[in-house]
Amino acid sequence: MTSTHNQPGSRAYLFSIVLVAIIGGLLFGYDTAVISGAEKGLQAFFMGADFAYTDTIHGLTSSSALIGCIIGSALSGLLAGSLGRKRSLFVAGVLFFLSALGSYNPEFLLFDYGEPSFGLLVAFNLYRVLGGIGVGLASAICPMYIAEIAPSDIRGTLVSWNQFAIIFGQLVVYFVNFLILGSNVNPVIDLVEGVNRIMNPEAAAWTIETGWRLMFVSEAVPAGLFALLVLLVPETPRYLAMTGRDSQALEVLSRINGDAQARTILAEIKATTHEKTERLFTYGWLVIFVGIMLSVFQQAVGINAVLYFAPRIFDTMGMGNPMVQTVFMGIVNILFTLLAVFTVEKWGRKPLLIYGSIGMAAGAFGVALSNAVAGLPALLPVVSIMVYSASFMFSWGPICWVLIAEIFPNTIRGAAVAVAVAFQWIFNFIVSSTFLPMYNMRLGDMGENFGHMFAYGLYGVICIAAALFVWRLVPETKGKTLEDMSKLWGRKR
């Protein structure tokens, strides 16, 4: 073993490790948002099959990766505890890679290329579920890995960079989808006598046959890179200490923090890991409830319905090229995620969540109002969507992951994070799979405006409830070590 005597800490080493970990966040964003550009071509492709491809089936297909996310997040605690954080991330990278290839060519070995059928639909969804398992693993383990390796004074900032990577991944895939689409057009699908029909299929033929496939396979490049780079990073010192490898834990801590501080940190870790078989509810029900509800509210506010179906939403607003507007929204999201990155350690977690909830509510109610009242400026819903999305990006987007990574005591973190993130993906699936049917609801003279108003009015109400929840129940964790969580929740039992 390398000697750690008088070894200085290296922020460059720390940042290089974190950079690799947040590529997992980038893949998380890439995989979940790739559907936004591909879903209309995918829908048109399967509408040529010998069965009725309804809005409900399309909603489930567009959201099928989320089933895998639920599975992956539920398994994350088991894998993080048995394989370790590092190996679990490698597994996630391999799953991303295989899903990208399979989604590109779901006919592989079993079906005739380009001939839609129910069996092919099942195969495509299975490949998307496979990628979703990778997303579920990465969504739980990437922030856990960063939180367990980062010094407490910059932990919130570094975990927030993971959310930046998620949003950056979404921006990258919006731009990639835009480049792939090029001068081709997405199919226009409308109800004709109660049945979905493709308007002008000749103009959209390339997108229907090939475009959506290229969008999915483009993920194979960053996925392969991530899987290779993960092999080069160390295991987290907290996992090493919990599995009896103190000398390895000390070496990693020393390279990051310096020798003297490393020994202090290792002693604190060991003081909270002597009961590493503690049950999930050892620290009471409240900490688990808070973790679960943070996840539930992050999804129930409806953000992923906007991210997954952004081009379709902008198209219904009639404000120019929807793909261009989607890329612009991605840029806005990046800028406001950076706001959280640079203020989370100064302002704290709770204020950002509360302010973001209020901003999201204002944006959601703005969209609802524009559909309820005739004659309002056409720009209002576009600006409202941007406000809604931007408010999420400096609050619930990054801060929820920061809190989930740090509020649980060391001895239950793996299992507790798995439970919390599983609930997050369950509600992501519920919101995403119900959005299109709800968004397309019609009522009397209001027509489709009723569905638009109802969906965003509901999300606005949930945003207000989220602000109240944070105000009353969520503790502030700014400046606290991960080992402090045992004391904080021990007092609340």
**pLDDT tens profile 307-356:** 655 566 666 665 566 667 777 777 888 888 888 878 888 888 899 999 99
pLDDT digits (tens, 9 = 90+) for 10-54: 888 999 999 999 998 898 888 877 887 888 889 889 988 888 888
**pLDDT (0 to 100) of residue 188:** 62
Report whether pLDDT(286) > 90: no
Determine phi and psi for 54, rounding to 5 degrees.
-85, 170
**pLDDT (0 to 100) of residue 183:** 80
CA–CA separation, 93 and 226 (whole Å): 6
Residue 195 banded pLDDT, cuts 50, 70, 90: low
Report whether pLDDT(106) > 60: yes
**pLDDT (0 to 100) of residue 105:** 94
Report whether pLDDT(142) > 80: yes
**pLDDT (0 to 100) of residue 7:** 64
Question: What mean pLDDT is predicted for residues 58-67?
Answer: 84
Residue 124 banded pLDDT, cuts 50, 70, 90: very high
Mean pLDDT, rounded, of the chain: 83
The answer to whether the beta carbons of residues 224 and 83 sit under 8 Å apart is no
CA–CA separation, 111 and 109 (whole Å): 6
Minimum mean pLDDT range among 110-119, 368-377, 389-398, 455-464: 368-377
**pLDDT (0 to 100) of residue 356:** 94
Q: Over the range 279-306, which residues count as b (16 or more CB within 10 Å of their CB) and which as e?
A: eeebbeeebbebbbbbbbbbbbbbbbbb
From the centroid of its chain, how far is CA 80?
Answer: 19
Share of the chain above pLDDT 70, in %: 88
Question: What mean pLDDT is predicted for residues 292-297?
Answer: 93
Instruction: Return the structure tokens found at 26.
Output: 């980038």
Report whether pLDDT(137) > 70: yes
CA–CA separation, 63 and 428 (whole Å): 9
Question: What mean pLDDT is predicted for residues 365-379?
Answer: 79
CA–CA separation, 272 and 238 (whole Å): 10
Minimum mean pLDDT range among 63-72, 227-236, 310-319, 458-467: 310-319
pLDDT digits (tens, 9 = 90+) for 166-192: 888 888 888 898 889 888 877 766 656
**How do 188-192 and 195-199 pair as beta strands?**
antiparallel
The answer to whether the beta carbons of residues 196 and 54 sit under 8 Å apart is yes
**pLDDT (0 to 100) of residue 271:** 73
Q: Over the range 32-52, which residues count as b (16 or more CB within 10 Å of their CB) and which as e?
A: bbbbbbbbbbbbbbbbeeeee
pLDDT digits (tens, 9 = 90+) for 437-460: 777 777 766 666 777 788 889 999
Residue 3 banded pLDDT, cuts 50, 70, 90: very low
pLDDT digits (tens, 9 = 90+) for 390-415: 899 889 988 888 888 888 887 777 78
**pLDDT (0 to 100) of residue 1:** 40
Question: What mean pLDDT is predicted for residues 219-224?
Answer: 93
Determine whether 328 is exposed, middle or buried from the number of CB atoms within 10 Å of its CB (0-12, 13-18, 19+): middle
CA–CA separation, 65 and 250 (whole Å): 39
**pLDDT (0 to 100) of residue 312:** 60
pTM over cut 0.85: no
CATH number of 11-233+275-492: 1.20.1250.20
Instruction: Answer with the residue of higher pLDDT: 203 or 417.
Output: 417
Question: Which residues touch 424 (CB under 8 Å, ≥6 apart)?
Answer: 73, 139, 295, 296, 298, 299
The answer to whether the beta carbons of residues 478 and 154 sit under 8 Å apart is no
Residue 74 banded pLDDT, cuts 50, 70, 90: confident
Share of the chain above pLDDT 90, in %: 28
